[in-house]
Structures are given as structure tokens and as C-alpha cells.
Chains A and B, each alone.
Chain A
Amino acid sequence: DTGVSQDPRHKITKRGQNVTFRCDPISEHNRLYWYRQTLGQGPEFLTYFQNEAQLEKSRLLSDRFSAERPKGSFSTLEIQRTEQGDSAMYLCASSFRLANEQFFGPGTRLTVL
């Protein structure tokens, strides 16, 4: 069990550029979550996958955000035309089908200049 991994750990980009983050969940976990954490706040739910199906999206997830989980394994979160307000820590978590606990990755810190 290597835990949830995220790549990259840090990303600095200029306003208007597109960025993509990757999350690799724990191998047997079929549920995957994305959260966003801004400075001094707790994480906020963005979206959720069960296997390859995206079953829920928060209203926080504007049209510039898209997430995928092809083949129910790793997931990607893409932000198009980044804005300074997108600067945050993006967290990924995974859980096993019937389990209660979500295991979090170390996060990707995005800075939009």
C-alpha cells in the first residue's frame, strides 16, 4: 500500500494558462474525491468518482474545471484559463467501496500569478 499520490506537488502558472493535475488512488479503492483547500480554510468538496463514473460535482466546480477518471484508475483535474482565485491546494482522496475512511494524498499546491 503506497498511499494516494498526487503530481505535481507544486505548480506555478500565469493567469489564463491551462493546468492539469493527476491523482493515483490506493489501488483497490474504487471511490475517488477531489477537494480544494484555500489558505486558512478547511478542504471543500469538488467532485466524486465511483469507478470511472463522475457522480457528483460541487457548484464550486465552474465550467473551467473538468475531471476525468478513465478506466476507474487514476484521475486528472484540469483547470482551463486559470484565474488568481484558483490559487489553492487541490487534494485528492480515495476510499474502498464500503469503508467510511477517506485516505488523502499530499495535495498539489497551485499558484496563479
Chain B
Amino acid sequence: GNSVTQMEGPVTLSEEAFLTINCTYTATGYPSLFWYVQYPGEGLQLLLKATKADDKGSNKGFEATYRKETTSFHLEKGSVQVSDSAVYFCALSEIAQGAQKLVFGQGTRLTINP
């Protein structure tokens, strides 16, 4: 079945450091890919998405490019802030009965120190 593998955490960085969180996937067909973020005490929020190969999703300084040849969707940010501390989930969509069912990775906890 389809699956998503994320870089294991926790990841701890200093403010203004460069961030990469690796994500690779296994899927039949060409799913849409997503990054969700979960801040402490809050629900999952969509951070960015890409729906086809070579698409780049971006939001709040974060970027990820849909790489079909390497089946990857790595999350990057050039200069992280303390407020970026959260758990990040990579996900892909499976079509089931006309709906988009999400398959998530295990999550990567990110802590940014001032």
C-alpha cells in the first residue's frame, strides 16, 4: 500500500538556521503531496501542497518540490524562527470512493532555540 517516510526527529536548531526535513513516499499513480503542521495544543494545519511532478508548494517561507524521480517531497526553510517550533507531517492523498484520503508520515518534531 501507499506509505510516507519522514526523517526521524526530534530536530533542534538555532534561530535563523537552514531547515530541511526529508520526506519520501511510496505510491501507485501520482498522488498529491502535502505538509501539515501541528502547533502545541492545536489541530493540524495545511502548510503547503503540490499536486503534480515538479510543482513547488510554498507558504510562510517554507518550500517543498514534488520530485517524482526520487519520490521525495522535502520541506525546506532558509531561516527558521522560534515560532516555527511544531510537529511537521508529510502526507500523500489516496483516492477512495471519490474522496482524498490522507496517508501521513510519523511526524518530525522541530524545536527552534533563540
Contacts and interface: CB of A to CB of B under 8 A. Distances in A.
Nearest to B42: A106
A56 interface: yes
A31 B98 CA distance: 10
Contact of B106 (A31, A40, A45, A103): A40
B interface majority secondary structure? strand
B93 A48 contact: no
Interface string B85-105: 000010101001111111111
Nearest to A44: B104
A41 B107 contact: yes
Contacts of B46: 101-103
Given A42-B89, A100-B49, A101-B49, A50 B43 contact: no
Contacts of B104: 42-44
A106 B43 contact: yes
Interface string B38-66: 00011111100101000000000000000
18 contacts: A35-B102, A41-B106, A41-B107, A42-B104, A45-B103, A50-B98, A55-B96, A55-B98, A55-B99, A56-B97, A56-B101, A95-B99, A100-B32, A100-B100, A102-B100, A104-B36, A104-B44, A104-B45
Given A35-B102, A41-B106, 6 more contacts: A45-B101, A48-B99, A55-B96, A91-B43, A104-B36, A104-B44
